[in-house]
Each structure stands twice: as C-alpha cells, then as structure tokens.
Amino acid sequence: MHQLIAADGTRVADEELAPYVADVDDEQLLQLYSDMVTIRRIDVEATALQRQGQLALWPPMLGQEASQVGSLRALDMEDFIFPTYRENGVAYLRGADLAGIMSTWRGSANTGWDPHKFNMATPQIIIGAQTLHATGYAMGLVLDGKETLSIAYLGDGATSQGDVHESMVFAASFQAPVIFFCQNNHWAISEPVGLQAHAPIAGRAPGYGIPSLRVDGNDVLAVLAATRWAAARARSGGGPSFIEAVTYRMGAHTTADDPTRYRGVTELDEWGARDPIARVKALLQGRGKLDGEAEAGVAARANAMAAELRDGCINMPDPAPMSVFDNVYTTEHAILDRQRDHYERYLAGFAPADGAALEGSRS
C-alpha cells in the first residue's frame, strides 16, 4: 500500500508517488490540513443538527477527510465528478453552498447544487450507479475531443454491484478517461469488507485491463499523488484508472445506523491512531509550520463554516408545496400535469376560510 505520510507524521519515501507531489510545499500542505479540519467541523455540525431534528438524515464522513480532500484537490474545475451520498466534503470544496448541501438532507430540495455550475452530479443513492454515469460521460468526452475526465466515487460495498463491473468493462473497452475512486472504509453498512473481498479491491481492476493503485486513504498526500497519477493517464489518452484508498469510517453509516452493534470495541481506537488529520498536524508541527497562531486561524475558518452551515440550515425556508413538480421533466408531460392538478385540488381543501390560495399553488 502506497504511503507518503506515516501515522506518526513522518514522511515516507515512495518512488512511484513522490514525483506527483514534488511541487507541494509546506504552505500547500497547510492548506490541505485546513481543508480537512474544515470538512470535519462541517461533518460534526451536520451530525449535531440531525440529532437536534434539523436534518432528516446525514451520512458522516468522519475519518475519510484525507480521501475526499486529496482526490478533489488533484482535479481541474472542468473535470466532472460523480459522487455517492457521502462526498459532502468534496461538494463543499468544489464550491457548493453549505445551506444548499444541507437542503437535500433537510428534505427541502432534490439536490444541493447546480450540477452544471460545479461540474458535479447530484448525490447518487443507488449503490454503484454513478460509475455507469461517469463512464458514459467519459466516453462522451472522447467523442467530443475533450481533454478532461470524469471521476466516480464509490465505496468498498459498491464493488459487489454489477453496475461497477459493467462500468469497468466499458471503460476499458473504449479507453474512457474515467477514474474509479474507491474509498474502502471497511464497512458496507454492517458488512465488513473482508466478507466480500478476500484480496485487495485494487486487484480487481487489472482483470479488466485497468491499472490500479492501492494507497493509504488516511494520507492526504498519497491520495493527492495517486489521483494526479490517474488524472495524468486520463488526460494523455491512457484510459481509465482505479484507486483504492484504504481508510476507515469512524462514524456511523448514516445517522440512522448504530455501528456499536457490529463493530469490535477496539476497532475504533486502532483506526483512531491512524487519524488523517493528526498525522498532517504532526508533520507540520515538526517542520515548524503550525504554531499556535496558524492553528487558531485554521480553527477559526472551520468554526465560521460550521456557523454558516447552522444558520443556513435553521433559517432555511420550506419549499412551496407545488415545487415538488418542478424539474421532473424537461418538457411538459400530460401525466405530470394531471398529478399536479390532483395535488393542487387536494391542497386547496386545506385553504383558509377566506379562500386564500396556498403559497406556491397555481392560480
């Protein structure tokens, strides 16, 4: 498994990956550290909001910060991202509004951002389906003569889905510029990765003719390097690549899950010692680049984002009732028109006695 920063914060020599991050200086490393601290703070705040009844659900990303930050920072804005439901840190770093991200999990909107504005698809709930979308998009890039790429995020559990394997067949056959980025967080809900993968997941891709790398997913520098490697292959016509980022889901699968029912009592402590943020902090402190003032600045930025998230969530207006029919089809549709009419008349039955129309209904 490739690694550039050990769990204790010391640098590790890796001749294959090191050239891809030779330009990353201490200031850039500090920025990566700040990114990770910020998205963890966002995650903690969102989890608290769900527990307080402000969100319907939340999928924690605690422990997977290095995988999300390192991979995103290797991409260009023109590259199209196809996420799962857990890449909310990627969405934030891509530029999506925090309140917008929360709107999906509050049940106020179907998506938290404009896919065309941020070149990032809406969160995919169906496990593995986004790999098909990313591969098809990448095949289109080839036909259009573009030099950009697509990336599909997926979990270890998704690699047991047929969609993923079909995607890799097509990607290899047509040499599509797509990156399959697997965050192996060791648990597919309550199923351990060892039950469905008796060998490293990265070993599956070469069977399809797709080169792969297995990296320490808690090492932001290694993840950055591996994603740059895959991106360089895609942009130069080298076709698809597969990255297995070995990380750990320190939180629950979602806030509807209780991981204490299936995880060993010592497992969390063992992986806590490999914390992705702690190792970068140790490295920066060892180099004299993270003093009290710098750390306070990082914390202030993270807390400001958390405050913005909380304010945007709590003060989010409810959607107009009839907006549920918006953006279902790109053109008018008779069946949808009939459903809209039925729902409008149903809502009218709850109208005030003075006959005032409900907000958002048609005249």
Which position among 11, 235, 262, 301 bears the catalytic label?
A: 262
Backbone angles phi, psi at 214, to 5 degrees: -115, 115
Under 8 Å between Cβ of 329 and 336: yes
109-134 in b/e form (b: 16+ CB < 10 A) is bebbbeeeebbbbbbbeebbbbbbbb
Q: Which residues of 181-217 are buried (b: 16+ CB within 10 A; e: fewer)?
A: bbbbbbbbeeeebeeebeeebbebbeebebbbbbbbb
Residue type, 260: T
In contact, 131 and 80? CB cutoff 8 Å? no
CA distance 60 to 55: 13
Per-residue tokens: 105: 């999990």
Joined together, the tokens standing for residue 263 give 């995880």
Look at residues 160, 279, 284 and name the one whose alpha carbon lies nearest to residue 216. 279
Q: What share of the chain is helix, strand, coil (3-state, %, to 5)?
A: 50, 10, 40
183 - beta bridge partners? 155, 245
8 A C-beta contact, residue 242 and residue 272: no
In the residue annotation, 253 being an active-site residue is answered as: yes
One of 41, 106, 253, 310 is an active-site residue; which one?
253
Contacts of 309 (CB under 8 A, 6+ apart): 42, 45, 46, 49, 98, 99, 101, 102
Name the β-bridge partners of 307.
none
Q: Which residue reads 């995988």 in tokens? A: 67
Q: DSSP readout, 203-231?
A: GTGGGGT--EEEEETT-HHHHHHHHHHHH
Residues labelled catalytic: 249, 253, 262
